[in-house]
Amino acid sequence: MLIKKEPDIPSSQITPKRLYLNRRKFLAGTAVTGLAAAAGMRLSEFNSPEASVQANAKIEGIQKSSFSTTEKITPYKDVTNYNNYYEFSTDKYGPAGLAKDFKTRPWTVTIDGLVPKKQVVDVDTIVKWATPEERIYRHRCVEGWSIVVPWVGFSLSELVKRAEPLGKAKFVEFTTIYSPNQMPGLKVPVLDWPYVEGLRLDEAMHPLATLCFGMYGEVLPNQDGAPLRIVVPWKYGFKSAKAIVRVRFTDRQPLNSWNKSAPDEYGFYSNVNPNVDHPRWSQAKERRLGEFLKRPTLMFNGYDQVASLYSGMDLKKNF
């Protein structure tokens, strides 16, 4: 997600060399020492999942989802120590430590725009709107790495239904928190803050699109988007906005942050598509964190059930 403009640079140069070398070690499964150092931890602490995140409460009454993949789940320590969360840091090993004391309560979400009535809802009310489900999804980052995560949440459609969007609402925009006192990355103008994402309303209503508040059976760690994020498994990871404070219904296509900063590189749709290269690298393959060999990337990240949302559209133009 770094906005360096030189054409045809190898992916090894997209990320600063120090991080790239770290990542290579990490991907080979041998970066424990580097990670522990980056997070300011002793090696023994690193082996405990609680070391880099606050003790996370168990979520009760989770049901299994039929949408889950049976693929191997990525270890918790990898998913919670290798994050894209630019409000904290552009260093993927940074958010785990920097988000440790991030305040996720009290927290409200404003639901407004083309709705009959603006609502300001407490997050603890929202999470009770439906039965929590464990949804084990593939998650593909635009940078070429992927993970398999047991998210906990329910269909985003539950929120949309409660908002009762007006007939002319065609899109939904998600705005994430802007809290400069808590988020050191906001001092860096990598993006035009706050982080904004958007979906077409029918995409948001698709049962796979998830309103997420947990992972691995527990409350979401701060670095993974607590207290509330979306997860859109057929799209590149950047569509899955973290720490949402506003959901706005609109008749115009929202201008999402990455599209605003580099329109040639990051589109509005951002469906996972091995046939459409990023201008600076191929999207044909991906590396699962912890694995050495790359695997082919699948159209819609393997979630073929969303294909009908895009019938008749040129997905090369609407990337």
Residue 240 binding ligand MTE, by CB under 6 A: yes
The residues near 221 (Cβ < 8 Å, ≥ 6 apart) are 53, 54, 56, 80, 96, 99, 215
Q: How far apart, in whole angstroms, are the C-alpha atoms of residue 172 and residue 149?
A: 25
Q: How far is the CB of 149 from ligand MTE (least distance, A)?
A: 7
Residue 303 binding ligand MTE, by CB under 6 A: no
In the complex with ligand MTE, the residue whose CB is nearer, 83 or 155, is 83
DSSP string, 207-265: TT-EEEEEETTEEPPGGGTTT-EEE-TTB-GGGS--SEEEEEEESS----HHHHH-TTT
C-beta of residue 282 within 8 angstroms of C-beta of residue 236 = no
- Residues numbered 143 to 182 that lie near ligand MTE (CB under 6 A) are 176
Q: What's the start-to-end Cα distance of the chain, in Å?
A: 15
If 0-12 CB within 10 Å is exposed, 13-18 middle and 19+ buried, where does residue 212 land? buried
Residue 141 binding ligand MTE, by CB under 6 A: yes
From candidates 135, 242, 246, 248, binder to ligand MTE by CB under 6 A: 242
User: Rg of the chain's alpha carbons, rounded to an integer?
Assistant: 19
**Span from 41-49, 82-90, 199-207, 303-311 in contact with ligand MTE (CB under 6 A):** 82-90
Residue 1 binding ligand MTE, by CB under 6 A: yes
Residue 133 binding ligand MTE, by CB under 6 A: no
Question: Which backbone phi and psi does 299 adopt, to 5 degrees?
Answer: -55, 140
Residue 256 binding ligand MTE, by CB under 6 A: no
From candidates 52, 56, 83, 301, binder to ligand MTE by CB under 6 A: 83
Q: How far is the CB of 195 from ligand MTE (least distance, A)?
A: 4
Q: How far apart, in whole angstroms, are the C-alpha atoms of residue 175 and residue 132?
A: 23
**Span from 39-47, 62-70, 78-86, 247-255 in contact with ligand MTE (CB under 6 A):** 78-86
Residue 85 binding ligand MTE, by CB under 6 A: yes
In the complex with ligand MTE, the residue whose CB is nearer, 153 or 225, is 225
In the complex with ligand MTE, the residue whose CB is nearer, 46 or 85, is 85
Structure tokens at 50: 């609680």
Site residues, ligand MTE (CB under 6 A): 1, 83-87, 141, 176, 195, 224-225, 237-238, 240-243
